[in-house]
Amino acid sequence: MIEMNKGKLVVATHSWLAVDVITDIWMQVTETKGLPAVTVGDVVRETSRGYEVYRSYYASAPLTVLPTRTSLIPINIIPLEGEEE
């Protein structure tokens, strides 16, 4: 079993978000390209309608919803404790 702690949400060729995985549900934006509504520090979670971007954990409505074609690409993968490589 492996765990991802950094990733890239790719929306289109020139639109993506670099994210840090915070919990099983939430990711935080560390870099953005081609998505002017999203800023560094926003939080993201995956839902059945796509990835939802919020200004904070406490926001009642998403800032934007990324399309379902958005893919999460792992950047930094670390093995879980007790596993051999």
The pLDDT tens digits for 13-24 are 899 999 999 988
Cα separation values, 28 from 1, 9, 42, Å:
23, 11, 6
Q: CB–CB of 8/73 below 8 Å? A: yes
Residue 84 has a pLDDT of: 56
Residue 24 has a pLDDT of: 87
Q: Would you say residue 47 lies in a domain? A: yes
* pLDDT under 70: residue ranges of the chain: 1-4, 77-85
Residue 78 has a pLDDT of: 61
pTM for the whole structure: 0.82
Q: Would you say residue 34 lies in a domain? A: yes
Q: What is the count of structural domains for the chain?
A: 1
Q: Would you say residue 85 lies in a domain? A: no
Domain that holds residue 24: 2-77
Residue 1 has a pLDDT of: 43
